[in-house]
């Protein structure tokens, strides 16, 4: 996991300079790079397409932007950081006094060395983001202002990677691709999702896993609109965001609160003894609020470390590659793998010898446990599985009711199934 953590961190650093937004070439370049790790199916949805209650907006692209003083020196330069430009800024080429320019400048007075992240997706506007200390140092006078951007009919771009399972029922894993140079809020989630998909591809999962790389809000809404007729196939889901900071893990439950993914994450986090927090659902945050909107009401939760807007560096230049750690991303990935290992094995079984307790010894089931350090626990797991295999209780139910580790229960079910005593 140490090596994988370093690989994920390297991916974050590679993606960090790119200027992403809800549309545009920055998103495409990001997906091209992810496509070096995974085969992706890329979708282009034209401007003007109706997606539920929304409409796909015009596509935004930017080549250069700066504010230059009277000597021609660039005092704010998009080439230094994609955060320096208000997202979706319309083109501008003008010279104006500092007093007029100030109306279009965004800073963080409480953190004078940080640059904020700001956007104006659905209102024609332009602007620059800069450190408060940079603004304080600007003398009065005229400044050249230039934003070389285009806002025109084009496409919204999102991508999917599908890992076929033994059944067509799906687990979706979703991450947002719309933020510019922000390492934790955006890129760590992309990196963890990518390496999670690579790990699952080496297995033969029970469920079909669909990874969705899409711009926040409008991207998830677009995906839902285009998949509404097959949405019943989605049985579980997880949104990944803020996956790389050094804070404790936070799982935000689905709207249902008792969806299987909620129970699995609660169980896995508690059993791992990691410091963690279980948060109730709120209709605010990342794209879980789209998947959990009442018309869809999917069992989709959200896994992060420090949650949405919960750290000072959020949506600022301080959310850089140094803010995220390989160890934290590896830990987030490990929890995802542990959770999906439970989800993939959680079945309901039927006891084929339900009248009285079947004789386990003559079937060699007790002998097979000989030498195990947890022999008594394994025997108890068999008895619990037999007793609750009534077609109504899942292995997760068994683990919760018995207090036994899920892995122990799952191994017991495997042994009982092989002996012909239960069937899925």
Do the bridges between strand 50-51 and strand 54-55 make them parallel or antiparallel, or are there none, so unpaired? antiparallel
What angle, rounded to 10 degrees, do the helices at 375-388 and 395-402 form?
A: 120
Residue matched to tokens 């470390």: 305
> Alpha-carbon distance 35 to 29, whole Å?
10
Helix or strand or coil: residue 34? helix
How are strands ordered across the β-sheet holding 170-176?
41-46, 155-163, 208-214, 170-176, 234-240, 300-304, 249-252, 276-279
Ligand-binding annotation for 277, yes or no, is no
Residue matched to tokens 């007093």: 99
Query: Strand locations in 246-316, DSSP E?
Result: 249-252, 276-279, 300-304
> Alpha-carbon distance 192 to 29, whole Å?
18
Q: Are 178 and 215 in contact (CB under 8 A)?
A: yes
287, 155, 284: which is closest to 212 by C-alpha? 287
Read off the tokens for 393. 């209780």
Helix or strand or coil: residue 161? strand
Do the bridges between strand 105-106 and strand 142-152 make them parallel or antiparallel, or are there none, so unpaired? unpaired
Helices and strands, number each (H, E), in the chain:
12, 19
> Alpha-carbon distance 325 to 287, whole Å?
24
Q: Are 26 and 20 in contact (CB under 8 A)?
A: yes
In Å, how far are 243, 276, 311, 335 from 246, measured between CA atoms? 9, 12, 11, 15
Q: Which residues pair with 301 in a beta bridge?
A: 238
Alpha-carbon Rg for the chain in angstroms: 25
> Alpha-carbon distance 18 to 360, whole Å?
61
Burial class of residue 141 (count of CB atoms within 10 Å of its CB; 0-12, 13-18, 19+): exposed
Ligand-binding annotation for 315, yes or no, is yes
Q: Are 223 and 291 in contact (CB under 8 A)?
A: no
Binding residues for Zn(2+): 179, 185, 315
Binding residues: 179, 185, 315
């Amino acid at each position: 996991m140490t090596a994988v953590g370093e690989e994920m961190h390297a991916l974050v650093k590679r993606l960090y300079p790119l200027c992403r937004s809800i549309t545009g070439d920055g998103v495409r370049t990001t997906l091209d790079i992810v496509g070096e790790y995974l085969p992706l199916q890329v979708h282009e949805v034209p401007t003007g397409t109706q997606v539920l209650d929304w409409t796909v907006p015009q596509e935004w692209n930017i080549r250069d932007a700066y504010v230059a003083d009277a000597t021609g020196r660039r005092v704010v330069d998009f080439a230094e950081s994609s955060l320096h430009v208000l997202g979706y800024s319309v083109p501008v080429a003008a010279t104006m006094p500092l007093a007029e320019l100030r109306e279009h400048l965004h800073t963080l007075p409480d953190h004078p060395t940080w640059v904020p992240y700001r956007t104006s997706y659905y209102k024609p506007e332009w602007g620059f983001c800069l450190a408060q200390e940079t603004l304080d140092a600007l003398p009065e006078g005229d400044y050249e202002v230039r934003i070389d951007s285009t806002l025109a009919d084009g496409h919204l771009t999102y991508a999917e990677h599908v890992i076929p399972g033994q059944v067509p029922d799906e687990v979706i894993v979703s991450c947002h691709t719309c933020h510019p140079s922000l390492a934790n809020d955006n890129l760590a989630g992309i990196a963890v999702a990518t390496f999670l998909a690579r790990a699952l591809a080496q297995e033969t999962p029970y469920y079909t896993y669909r990874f969705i790389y899409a711009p926040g809000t409008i991207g998830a809404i677009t995906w839902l609109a285009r998949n509404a007729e097959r949405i019943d196939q989605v049985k579980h889901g997880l949104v990944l965001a803020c996956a790389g900071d050094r804070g404790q893990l936070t799982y935000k439950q689905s709207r249902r609160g008792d969806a299987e993914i909620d129970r699995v994450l609660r169980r896995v986090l508690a059993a791992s003894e990691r410091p963690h927090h279980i948060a109730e659902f709120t209709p605010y945050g990342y794209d879980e609020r789209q998947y959990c909107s009442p018309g869809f009401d999917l069992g989709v939760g959200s896994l992060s470390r420090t949650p949405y807007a919960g750290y000072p560096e959020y949506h600022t230049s301080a959310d850089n590659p140094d803010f995220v750690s390989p160890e934290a991303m590896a830990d987030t990935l490990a929890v995802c793998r542990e959770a999906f290992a439970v989800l993939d094995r959680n079945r309901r079984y039927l006891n084929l010898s339900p009248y009285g307790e079947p004789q386990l010894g003559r079937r060699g089931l007790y002998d097979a446990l000989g030498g195990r350090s947890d022999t008594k626990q394994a025997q108890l797991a068999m008895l619990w599985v037999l007793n609750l295999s009534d077609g109504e209780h899942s292995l997760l139910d068994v683990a919760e009711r018995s207090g036994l580790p899920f892995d122990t229960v799952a191994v017991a079910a495997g042994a009982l199934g092989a002996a012909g005593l239960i069937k899925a």
